[in-house]
Structure 1
Amino acid sequence: MRLIAVNIDGVLLNDSFGPVIRRLVESRGGVYGPELEQALLSQSQMVAARAAAEVLGGSAEALLAAYFEERERYVAEHPVRVLPGARELLERLRGLGASTVCYGGLERKHFDRYLGDLELAGLFDEPGYVCTNDFRPGIREITEDVFGLRLDQVMFIDDVARVAEAARDLGVAFIGHPSDYESGFQRPLMERAGARHVVRSLGEIDEELLLRVDAEAAAGRSWPGRGV
């Protein structure tokens, strides 16, 4: 394993997206379910806004603006925070000898604000953070374009089933850490996608699990039905 890529929101930071999306949908009379959640998470901002507009009406631009306004209100009530075990996880990843990078859909200032000030940024390799808004979910781009590696040399840790599906289709090693948001659907969607490893806490991503995932990747068995 040469690279471990870790999603920022929902893995290292608490989920401040799923609850906001649900609020926005239901405040406009929409019905929030797994299909809609799947259509909106880990998409570029405008793609997600257009998908929401098809359900809720109005323009994608207006919905995107409303979303960020709603998110500002939400984080005022539920501040963004580093999840328990994040530092320990990053230190374990560093101990494996692979490069480590963080990624997510917001601009780098989001990473700098919540991880840089806590000196967690030093636990990542250059460039430290990759904004994937222009190429969601970003597995191939981070692997090949940013780090110049093969897809069988990387592992992704993410909270969204769409990323699990992309990892499956590419044969990339994956560990799921679905948000603990009680009304979310990502855990069953990950399981439906066939993810072998879906955890409930960052502490579960211990050295034993990481070495197992590494061995599965080396054997081409990161996903059921692949390899020997």
Structure 2
Amino acid sequence: MTSGRLRHLRAAAVNIDGVMLNDTFSPVIHHFIVSRGGVYTAELERRIFSQRQAEAAQVIAEAAGVDWSPEKVLEVYFRERAEYLERHPVRILDGAVAMVGLLRSSGLRTVCYGGLDRSHFDSALGGHAGLFDDPGYVCTDARRPGIHEIITETFGLRPDQVLVIDDVARVAETARGLGAPFIGNPSDFEHGFQREAMREVGARHLVRSPAEIGEDLLRTLDAEAATGTCWRN
């Protein structure tokens, strides 16, 4: 645990799927598209990830070559995801709980966020809900990616005071535009493009597991946030 509170940062927003929990979305989206004859590309991934569900469903339908409404796409997608979860259950990633404990002991007010409703958080992380500060979980589907709203409405802070930890490059891009410090934990899905995309956006701090987010990294981000140097030129 950290030996003291950070000097500049005041809060942290932690993505649920891909940071706290294993990535159970990329493989299903990829299979949905390629199994119907579509081609999965970096640009396609960018257009789908961290978008509102209805908007992502339209892109998925186009890529898969199906003339379905967004509602039907989502119905079939979540059915296929349920089948995937029977073989690959949702699990808390190694080091994720300890990471949140470190954030809290460093003096950061910490919430979890994601695109699914709160029942997903309660089901997967309910046993650890006490690790997070009120409101615990923020659903961002209505205002994707939702980082600005979490910073200004949930926390009531400036962007440079809030650390964002996510697995999607679009969130990194949003954080950069706001001037918010960012740690990327992109999925290791073999057909994914998020690590490369985060590098292109200019994210300076990428990890392969929440277990890699330790006191030294937090103090580095804290110092960079204080001097406005969280992002590469």
With the length of structure 2 as denominator, give the TM-score of the two structures: 0.93
Q: Deviations over 1:155-188 (max 9, x none)?
A: 1000011101111111110000011212211100
Superposed CA deviations along residues 18-37 of structure 1, whole A, max 9, x for unmatched, are: 00000100121100111111
Counterpart selection for 2:103 from 81, 88, 93: 93
Task: Determine which of 36, 61, 67 is the counterpart of 1:58.
Answer: 67
Which amino acid is the alignment partner of residue 199 of structure 1?
Answer: V
* Structure 2 counterpart of 1:166, one-letter code: T
Deviation string, structure 1 residues 120-173 (Cα, Å, up to 9, x no partner): 111100000000000111110001112211111101000011101111111110
Deviation per residue, 1:101-124 (Å, 9 max, x gap): 00000010110111113xx11110
Matches within 5 A, 1:13-162: 13-55=21-63, 56-59=65-68, 60-117=70-127, 120-162=128-170
Residue 44 of structure 1, CA deviation:
0.8
1:50 shift after superposition = 1.4
State the alpha-carbon separation in 1 of the partners of residues 48 and 145 from structure 2.
12
**SS of alignment partner, residue 208 of structure 1:** helix
Aligned-residue CA RMSD (Å): 1.0
1:53 shift after superposition:
2.5
SS of the residue corresponding to residue 111 of structure 2 reads strand
Secondary structure at the counterpart of residue 133 of structure 1: coil
Shift of 1:57: 3.4
- Measured in 2, the distance between the counterparts of 1:139 and 1:214 equals 18
Percent identity, aligned pairs only, is: 58
Residue of structure 2 equivalent to 1:213: 221
Which portions of structure 1, spanning 4 or more consecutive aligned residues, are displaced by more than 2 angstroms?
53-57
Alignment partners' CA distance in 2, 1:79 and 1:136: 26
Q: How big is the shift at 1:58? A: 1.2
Displacement of 1:74? 0.6
SS in 2 for 1:15: coil
CA distance in structure 2 between the aligned counterparts of 1:35 and 1:91, rounded to whole angstroms: 36
Residue aligned with 1:42, SS: coil
Q: Which amino acid aligns with 1:42?
A: S
**Unaligned 5+ runs, structure 2:** 1-8
CA deviation after TM superposition for structure 1 residue 54, in Å? 2.8
Q: Which amino acid aligns with 1:167?
A: A
**Partners of 1:43 and 1:156 in 2: CA distance:** 17
TM-score, L = length of structure 1: 0.95
Gaps of 5+ in 1: none
Which residue identity does 2:76 align to in structure 1?
A
Aligned equivalents of 1:26 and 1:82: distance in 2?
28
Shift of 1:39: 0.8
**Secondary structure at the counterpart of residue 188 of structure 2:** coil
